Chains A and B, each alone.
Chain A
């Protein structure tokens, strides 16, 4: 098991003290990160004591510590999951060979691009959410937002560590560029489009953490299978923290829906009470689910094939041995594709080229589970409304469905139908104005804004009326 050094300027379990050159490089990057955090991190809450979880290790017996901390003083550390010493490559062309502890030359550019693209999303989401604290529906939710933000900051550290350690001068430049690009910046935006929109209300935030962070889960899970061992071990530990982010979103949307159902059960209209009507919430779900599906990339992709063949990205839970052929050489993926005649036909794609689609399948199954969970709760509150996950063809701007129009059920439609109907499927400006009008900050311990039900429990077994944020 690795040794955790919590006393170091940068907490870590990667033996930073023994690598002075790397330590100096990271300690030079650290103040730039803190400056970025203060300038573009959560607005106006940096001086308050917030009850936060901090990663302190990776082994059994607890990996995190809870205490009050001011966010700029958060101990952002570098942690890699422990791994067996004799780990072998378990998929792709090099299956059976030892995993790599250094970057093979032939994969240097591809690995760097994967790490930079993943790393860029981490500070991007912090920037997107920086104003949200001003409208937090409770101290519990304000704490959750801050927890998500500091941990996304730690995930940036994780990727920067890989760049500094394994990619030399290029890696250091990429690490600096992570703090130079900014979400929504006209001249120097974040790499992925979904990370350039401000998230300024809590419906968007909970949808983002449910659907977009979940894309992150699947991307991290595929990298956790990587033959490049430092990347696999880094992302394995990131997944531990990411689970809380997705739970924040899943529970958040569930609590908003429950509150609306409670109001409806009493014979009142959520729209008249400052709560979120369920059809409106469905439109937000449609928007974020479809935008997040775009992040998986093209369903038929030579890039994906090369990343799999090279052993850089595996399928979801590849190492559990659930797939029939770890080399994925002999099979075809049945992909529905639209043709120029306006019909959807089935096409067989060599399985390696369909790796993004296979990963998306696992994501869709996960999202289906979540929607089913929300619907069970609605039923328990005697509410007839049921959410539906939009079909993967709906509202896509990447992949084989981009450029075609589909309804949420996945039926191909013409442009006129889309123009007429899309306001029923995606949030309108009126929806956004209404949701914005509901966003009232509520900072009294144990109290919640009217559009959201309380959670069933607090983090680390705290009571719901716990003072999660101490204002000074």
Chain B
């Protein structure tokens, strides 16, 4: 099926989120446009007039239309702690929310972006849910089980080895910098620091959008900040309800921000540098996450760790 014939949007990706958080996410697209314009010292651009679609209709009789067109691809990496401490409600809630999340992320890219998902779990063993990133349309969540210790450092090494043009990021179409989302309820069992330093040398990691979610009170904020490089992109969930809301907010918001172009590649007078784009996107993600968290407030303050 050709890309332009893909299903039309069937709803707002923020449908199932708390109202204020959903509004904050809806504002993301407009904020991105303004931020990009501001970075160039220009007013926000006027809407671009769409060309006559009929000119570009894919003719069913054209045999060459059999292969789809891709604009850009975005890989979202989920790094998920599956150590023993996650057993019970935590892993159960996480499985449920991830199953619900996939259709919501599916609507983010639509015709403009091929969104792919890669899930890396770490307990005693580090393993990928699929052995390569899978298009969101084809992705099916496999329910996770928790057991063993927290080999997060090994997960960082595995991630670094796969974030490469020769491995997971080998799509011919141009790639947005990936989204990397870490979820954990505790402190690493292994020596994660050295592995994190190695990961930080990876260009895809450097330019990627990073966010982290601490689950329960045992999760260590300092360590999570080391991972994301910013306080604003680290949040904590203390109950099942918060966990569900936060995973959705972070995943959908980062996918939205990650899949927006902020460069004018052929503007010969001023080209946004990769660093400017990375910095603007990461800053925006932090703002959006913090706004959404404020709006979440005490929506679900029933249980802390005892509630798991």
Q: Does A associate with B in a complex?
A: no
Residues of A within 8 A of B (CB): none
